[in-house]
Amino acid sequence: MPHMKRVLLKNKNWAPALLDSAAEVTIVCRNLLEHLEVKATDDFIQVETADMRVSKPDRVFKVTLQLEGDIERTIDAIFCDRIVKVYDVLLAEQDWPPDFVRTCPYGEDVIKPFFSPLVPEALAESYSIEWALAQVPALYRNHVGWDKDSPYHVIPIKSEPQSQPQYPIKHEAKAPVREILMQLEYQGVIEPCVSPMNNPLFPVAKPDHSYRIVLDYRHLNSHTCTYAIQNSQSTALMSNIVCKKYKTTLDISNGFFCQNIVPESRDLTSFSVLGSQKKFCRFPQGYKHSPGLFAARVTAILHEIDPQALSYVDDIYLMDDELLQDLRWIARIAVGFAEFGYKFNFKKTKIAFLSVLFLGYELSSEGKSLAPQFLEKCAQLQPPNTIKKLQSLTGFLNFGRTYIPDYATRIKPFYDLIRPNFSSKFWTTEHTRILRELQTDMLAAQHLHTRDNKTHLVIRVIAGAIGFTYVTFNEGKTVLIAYKSHLYSAAEQRFAPTEKILTAVQMAVIKERALAQGKCIIVISPIPALEAVTKASVPNTKALHPRWIQWATSLTATDVDYIFDPKLQTQEFLQYEVEYPVPANTLPIDQYHSHVHRWLCTTCNWN
């Protein structure tokens, strides 16, 4: 554990000292000025900041404090007259407003962060959420926690990896890389080493002209055994998400760096840069098991603190219709994660907002919609001229597939072009037309609803020639939860129309059973008494007997009800269902076996 940095005190008899948080700006109590010896030559700078609710401006003094220790450096501090009375529970102790600043012994012992009590019952009238957050230092640089209670993981090697050469580093990136490595070493994430193993490091420029370091562990990953780890699925998570009035998103700062590696495996992560060699003591970004192990750890911690909160790797989402209750949950999660040694990235944190961005979606009272940043990029899409750009295009469009009807069939011509020798000559005007139609549909996409586990789940299935689409929504609601579409396999494309519908229904029920959350699934199809259909009732069947056994098992499930919609048997259906369009390749109604209906009416007394 590296030495804690100490602020020089005028009273030398003081044993305790303030901790350095590594934040760019630290707010401390103004009355502590009498205890601090300011070594900077600059005078105090008085800054006038107006509260949005109080006309009287605050007096804020900005000074520079000299810290002593292993690395001589200074920090900027702001001294203010007034404190933030609420929402301080997310702060590290060294960044608390005045009456929450706490001192702790100087040394190598691990200091457990202390948090203020939970949010008071009544909010201060003169403060707002926005004002309170504005007083909080939110620009952390490489702020790292340490989960000292997490198990020490072994990197399982199935074959001996080889040392890889280092990439050239641009001159302008060397100083930022040196600073990042110094901070990571200071916080115990990396340490010097002498190892025959080496992994390439290259700095990546951010939009704000800062840098982040990336390790190329592809060679190490190829020689690493695979764990049976349940990785988070953002699509499944967003399907089960709930939108209440107040929404909060929390971001764990450098979460991978909180997980421990056994000393015997650390040399495998070593890298050489700027004349020195380092190795990771914690899990690095780029190692293939880092996301899964970290996500499992976060899920386990949340299960102890708040089982209702949702997490995706290092992002946490929680919501409530009551503001105070939402703030209590935030405080509880903050305290709980702090006890395990984690820190939050306040630059990416949104507290009690009516609308937030989470995993690329905008969550509001109206439902779930594509984020404005995604729509802005979507409007600028252009036809690709290389295989890499084509793959990037299809990957980008796949993100919004749940907003587009019959997406799988419409995107198929793009995937047919993916080949090693792709060039712009293979891209035709028809492909451009499809791209523009997909762009138009995504830009005009409406909000999708979230799952209401108090109602039954309704699935409407629409079969096509080469694929099918089904839509999900809550019973009694007209706003959709999602569009889902799939292509038939080569064998399934030769099925009879009724068999294609059975294939679509079976797959829809299997995939959406988790979304039903224990409630009944209502399937709407164009075939009356679908559960009574047998192989003997369908002429010219193509499916094998085992497939019919699977369909029979699926159709007799006790948690699924089947409803016949007569509107699906008329062409007026295309104009009737305005809330979700029908795929362009929907089978003509005359291809459905009319004698099946007659057989059902005769045998099952269906009217």
Task: Write out 425-487 in H/E/C secondary structure.
Answer: HHCCHHHHHHHHHHHHHHHCCCCECCCCCCCCEEEEEEEECCEEEEEEEECCCCCCCEEEEEE
137 sits in the region (left: phi over 0; alpha: psi -120 to 50; else beta) called beta
Q: Transcribe 75-133 into DSSP letters.
A: EEEEEESS---SS-TTS-GGG--GGG---B--SSSPPPP--PPPPPSS--TT--HHHHH
SS3 content of the chain, % helix, strand, coil (to 5): 35, 20, 45
Q: Transcribe 70-83 into DSSP letters.
A: SS-EEEEEEEESS-
φ/ψ of residue 187, rounded to 5: -95, 5
pLDDT of amino acid 231 = 63
Of 4, 21, 8, 18, whose CA–CA distance to 109 is shortest? 4
**Over the stretch 47-78, which tens digit does the pLDDT of each residue have?**
233 332 323 333 444 444 443 333 334 444 44
Reply yes or no on domain 171-365 having CATH 3.30.70.270: yes
Of 338, 257, 267, whose CA–CA distance to 290 is shortest? 257
Angle between helices 407-416 and 429-443 (to 10 degrees): 140
pLDDT of amino acid 143 = 64
DSSP 149: T
**Over the stretch 511-527, which tens digit does the pLDDT of each residue have?**
888 888 888 999 988 88
**Distance, C-alpha 336 to centroid of its chain:** 21
pLDDT of amino acid 420 = 78
Reply yes or no on domain 457-603 having CATH 3.10.20.370: yes
What does the domain layout of the chain look like in residue ranges? 6-134, 171-365, 369-443, 457-603
406 sits in the region (left: phi over 0; alpha: psi -120 to 50; else beta) called left
For residue 421, what are the CA distances in angstroms to 131, 383, 387? Answer: 57, 17, 8
* Cα–Cα dist 327/341, whole Å: 21
Q: What angle do CA 409, 414, 417 make, to 5 degrees?
A: 130
Task: Please compute Rg for the chain using Cα positions.
Answer: 30
Task: Please report which helix (H) or strand (E) contains residue 328, including its range.
Answer: helix 323-339
Which residues, 6 or more positions from 251, have their beta carbon under 8 angstroms from its beta carbon? 314, 315, 316, 344, 345, 347, 348, 349
pLDDT of amino acid 230 = 63
| Ranges in the chain, pLDDT < 50 | 1-142, 570-607
DSSP 346: G
Of 567, 569, 571, 574, whose CA–CA distance to 596 is shortest? 569
**Distance, C-alpha 588 to centroid of its chain:** 41
* Cα–Cα dist 17/4, whole Å: 9
